[in-house]
Structure 1
Amino acid sequence: MEKVTRQSLKNSFIKAVAITMLIVFLCSALAIFICYRLQKHILPDSNEVWLTQQTTAPDGTVTEAKLRYVLNGPPEPFGQLVADGQEHNEAQEQTSYRIERIESSYSMLSSKAKTAYRSSQICMVLLPLMFAVIGTTLCAWWFYHKILEPPITVLMDATTHIQDQDLNFQINFDRRDELGQLCTAFEKMRQTLYENNRQMWSMLEERRALQASVAHDLRNPIAIMTGYVEYLQENSRGGTLTEEKLEKALSNLGITAERMGRYTDTMRDLGAIEETEVHRREVELPDFLQHMADSLSILFQNTEVRFACDFHVPAGRAVLDGELLYRVLENLIFNALRFAERQIELAFYLEHGTLSATVTDDGPGFSDKLMQKKTALFYSEDTSGKHLGLGLAVSRVLCQKHGGTIELSNKSPHGACVKVSIKLQEILYGTALITGGENGNI
């Protein structure tokens, strides 16, 4: 498994500051070097001196000439400089030389050169400070717009959607720092809210359908009871009510009242089941499922139906509500026993954190009318009133509480199949896979 390296805002900030400081240092060093070279170019060399030549003419006239000279080594004596054609007039003129070091090179500069020199000195101080301010500003701007602003914008937009009660959106932000993890957590929260709202809306719709179905089904027994009451009243007034007719009418009224009582009990039981809480605990797989199958096999003791189990679950541990799963499977197997001819099969599967259990019988299968209403919470094809479809309704409600679903289908060539899926809180799973090793009668 590839290890995901988690980035950090702290590391990103330190990296941005370090790069900024390096750039500021390099720019400041370059600016100081340029200013220094400019100063060296403006100022005369510190080894420059004035070479003064003083000449005394025979008539006593004294003339001086100055020459700017650079001393590159130890001073050496200068001989007398004589112009061409005057080699024989040495006695007529006397020449002397004098060397004076330039004490202040700046004082010898022109006004423009002095201004340039002062400007370079100011730049040597101000430019590094300016680079530091600009670098800090650009670093803060970059860090906010590239690191902080994108996730903040995504989260603000998501918050606006949630405030508007709109959960039909996605948060796409794949960075791995703290803000990226926050966006990922926000997306998981949105998905949870969306799923909870969807399940709540589904349960409300199913409750409305249940109420409409019960109201529709209660109309028949109420109409029957009303008819018998009118029948008894008419025959009683006409004097044609015999003891046989009275007994038959009362018997039918009792059957109808009993049926209405079943409807009332069904609604009460279903309401109590909807209040059931899910209590998850850690279990060992597949041993826990094997014990559950052994307990379910008791339902087949007084029947001729064969019970077969198949496990496709790796060894490991998971967190689930075993009592809830047992009640669901018990209801489904009890219903399957009413239609099965020779065999009922129970199979367990584990895929992507979801535990699935299928209950398959070899009976006639579900009718087309029931398949059209297979998503309804409360439906039964039994016209006798003895079976009101409570088992499937209870199983559907319990599965929804565990974050699961129930799917109805028909298998070929005949038979019904009910698939139960519940979400697990996984802890640890091994690599061993049990496939087909537990088949057989129980």
Structure 2
Amino acid sequence: MRLKGRIVVSFMVVMIIPLILINVAFFTIIKTRFSLIDTAGDEYNISIITSISNPIGYINKLIEEDYKELRAYLKNGQEHLDDSEYLDKFSQKIDNKYSYIYIIKGKQLIYGKNMELYDKIEYELYDYAIGSDESMGYFENNGFNVMVRHVGTLTDGSNLFFVTNISELETESKLAWGQLTASFVLIMLLTGLTLSYWLYTSVAKPIDSLRKSAKDIIKGDFNTEIKRHKRDEIGELADDFNNVREHINELLEDNISKKQNMKEMVVNISHDLKTPLTVIKGYVEGLREGVANTPEKQNKYLSIIYSKAVEMNSLIDALSAYAKLDMDGISYNFMELDINEHLTEGLDEIKTDLEMNNFEIYFHPCIEERVSVIADAAQFKRVINNLISNSKKYAAKDRKGRIDIRVGLMSEFVRVSVEDNGIGIPKEAQVKVFERLYRVDESRNSKIGGSGLGLAIVKKIIEDHGGRVWAESNRGQGTKIVMLLRNADFISVREVEELRRQKGKINA
């Protein structure tokens, strides 16, 4: 249940439930305390409140018919008043109405049931017997109240009295009021406790759980999941809290992983820089000490020094480029690019250099007249140059090098592959080759050289283009790097830029 619903239910519980229970308690107590109401008939049941608010007035209404019955028998014939069986039935009928009859002749009691009451009022009854006329009065003594009615005088000279014990009725009224008050307090207390417990388990307890989890996070514990108690706003907050906790945990783990990778990178780059520096230092010392004592040796030393300096410069350039890409330090200039035309122009620039290194390169354009992709021309050129550079480094020694570049359509993507006939990549290494500083040959002293960042840069650029890249290779038979770029017929420049922004937010 939503919090809004709980508020409504709480209002209903506080306002309606106690009202219903108090009414039930009221009528139950009245009917229990005033058993005479059951015998009063429907015409008096509607005045149930009067039984405790004005007990004397109410009892007068209840006994009116009984009193009239006695008066009628007194006037029309007194045979029933001489019949003890009738008197017993009549006494039993009015007993529930706190009323009794007494027949007295002189100072002698002829008939009466409640002797305890008679002993208290005996000496007063004679004052109410005024000839044969009807009379009524009240006997009051220290809180003891009795209503006495002189019904009349019988033929034998005895007097008939109709006595109602007001004190007994008032006592019941006071007890009823006390029970009603106690019931009201108990009902409100139980309602309050029930409502408090319900609100605690549904609101306060989940909030306490959130507070505890917040304290755990402050202490550095990001692994304890928060239980969702209810499907409400607090439950949704718990879900959001868990998502935040998991996200923070992932960020911390990623940060730790990045720190570890950074340490490894520093170590590896230091090693890769130290190797050519050591060579340069050795050959410079050879020049200074005169070891290279002929022009031929000096030229050889200088050539080696220059090649190692170029190697160091390439490594630093690759590291700088990857750092900028990794930190989104490079702003892409996406545009619609004719992939066939772009690759043709780029290959013309490097074809001569490849031929000088005993390499053949062939371009297989898409058979379509024009195939456009959404790409950054400069960054895609860097991708192609990195892949061709890798093919040169890992060329086989027993055959002439060959590179084939193919373009094909794949619905929403354009497939570009760069395939060589080099030494290939083992199956188990084909996924790892796109990791930064990874080399198939784990030895840092490999004669092949390279920074280990070329394919990592390729992967980063292609994914920033909203595409994919993977390797297909067989050991000793060459390697094919396959890239998927976004087809301009299915996506706009703005959409690719938005994809890159979203990717940046996820990786942030």
TM-score of the alignment, normalized to the shorter chain, above 0.5: yes
3-state DSSP of counterpart to 1:212: helix
Separation in structure 1 between the aligned mates of residue 461 and residue 242 of structure 2, nearest angstrom: 27
Q: Which residue does 2:480 correspond to in 1?
A: 415
Superposition deviation, residue 391 in structure 1:
3.9
Superposition deviation, residue 207 in structure 1:
1.9
- Aligned residues of 1:9 and 1:177 also touching (Cα < 8 A): yes
Separation in structure 1 between the aligned mates of residue 262 and residue 485 of structure 2, nearest angstrom: 21
Q: Which residue does 2:78 correspond to in 1?
A: 81
Counterpart residue identity of residue 273, structure 2: L
Separation in structure 2 between the aligned mates of residue 247 and residue 278 of structure 1, nearest angstrom: 40
Alignment of 1:118-197 (within 5 A): 118-150=174-206, 152-173=207-228, 175-197=230-252
Q: Which residue does 1:216 correspond to in 2?
A: 271
Q: Which residue does 2:165 correspond to in 1?
A: 109
Q: Which residue does 1:306 correspond to in 2?
A: 364
Superposition deviation, residue 379 in structure 1:
4.0
3-state DSSP of counterpart to 1:227: helix
Relative to 1, partners in 2 of residues 1:103 and 1:145: Cα closer, same or farther, differing over 3 Å?
farther
Higher helix share: 2
Unaligned runs of at least 5 residues, structure 2: 37-54, 84-130, 147-163, 348-361, 369-373, 392-402, 441-445, 487-498, 504-508
Separation in structure 1 between the aligned mates of residue 133 and residue 411 of structure 2, nearest angstrom: 115
Superposition deviation, residue 221 in structure 1:
1.1
Unaligned runs of at least 5 residues, structure 1: 1-6, 51-67, 85-95, 282-287, 311-321, 350-355, 427-442
Relative to 1, partners in 2 of residues 1:423 and 1:273: Cα closer, same or farther, differing over 3 Å?
closer
Relative to 1, partners in 2 of residues 1:266 and 1:375: Cα closer, same or farther, differing over 3 Å?
closer
Separation in structure 1 between the aligned mates of residue 447 and residue 247 of structure 2, nearest angstrom: 41
- Aligned residues of 1:35 and 1:121 also touching (Cα < 8 A): no
2:257 to 202, 215, 218: 202
Q: Which residue does 2:9 correspond to in 1?
A: 15
Separation in structure 1 between the aligned mates of residue 384 and residue 461 of structure 2, nearest angstrom: 15
3-state DSSP of counterpart to 1:31: helix
Relative to 1, partners in 2 of residues 1:13 and 1:173: Cα closer, same or farther, differing over 3 Å?
same
- Aligned residues of 1:344 and 1:362 also touching (Cα < 8 A): no
2:22 to 4, 23, 28: 28
Q: Which residue does 1:314 correspond to in 2?
A: none
Relative to 1, partners in 2 of residues 1:12 and 1:216: Cα closer, same or farther, differing over 3 Å?
same
Relative to 1, partners in 2 of residues 1:175 and 1:360: Cα closer, same or farther, differing over 3 Å?
farther
- Aligned residues of 1:378 and 1:390 also touching (Cα < 8 A): yes
Counterpart residue identity of residue 115, structure 1: T
Q: Residue by residue, what CA displacement relative to the aligned partner does 1:228-247 show, whole Å, maximum 9, x if unpaired? A: 234335545xxx71122112
3-state DSSP of counterpart to 1:415: strand
- Aligned residues of 2:13 and 2:191 also touching (Cα < 8 A): no
Q: Residue by residue, what CA displacement relative to the aligned partner does 1:64-123 show, whole Å, maximum 9, x if unpaired? A: xxxx94447996872342569xxxxxxxxxxx8554568799744386665343111222
- Aligned residues of 1:173 and 1:183 also touching (Cα < 8 A): yes
Q: Which is greater in Rg?
A: 2
Separation in structure 2 between the aligned mates of residue 160 and residue 399 of structure 1, nearest angstrom: 42
Which of structures 1 and 2 has the larger relative contact order (alpha carbons within 8 angstroms, sep 6+)? 1
TM-score, structure 2 normalization: 0.56
Separation in structure 2 between the aligned mates of residue 19 and residue 113 of structure 1, nearest angstrom: 35
Separation in structure 1 between the aligned mates of residue 328 and residue 29 of structure 2, nearest angstrom: 83
3-state DSSP of counterpart to 2:60: coil
Q: CA RMSD in A?
A: 4.7
Separation in structure 2 between the aligned mates of residue 302 and residue 221 of structure 1, nearest angstrom: 31
State the identity %. Answer: 18
Counterpart residue identity of residue 29, structure 2: C
2:404 to 327, 336, 341: 341
3-state DSSP of counterpart to 1:241: coil
Superposition deviation, residue 29 in structure 1:
0.5
Alignment of 1:356-375 (within 5 A): 360-363=417-420, 367-368=425-426, 370-371=429-430, 373-374=432-433
Separation in structure 2 between the aligned mates of residue 156 and residue 347 of structure 1, nearest angstrom: 52
Superposition deviation, residue 327 in structure 1:
7.2
- Aligned residues of 2:430 and 2:473 also touching (Cα < 8 A): no
Counterpart residue identity of residue 27, structure 2: F
Superposition deviation, residue 297 in structure 1:
5.5
Q: Which residue does 1:433 correspond to in 2?
A: none
Number of equivalenced pairs: 360
3-state DSSP of counterpart to 1:388: coil
Separation in structure 1 between the aligned mates of residue 210 and residue 462 of structure 2, nearest angstrom: 33
Separation in structure 2 between the aligned mates of residue 280 and residue 113 of structure 1, nearest angstrom: 98
Separation in structure 2 between the aligned mates of residue 48 and residue 374 of structure 1, nearest angstrom: 105
Alignment of 1:174-323 (within 5 A): 175-236=230-291, 241-276=293-328, 292=336, 294=338, 298-301=342-345, 303=347, 304-307=362-365
Superposition deviation, residue 179 in structure 1:
1.7
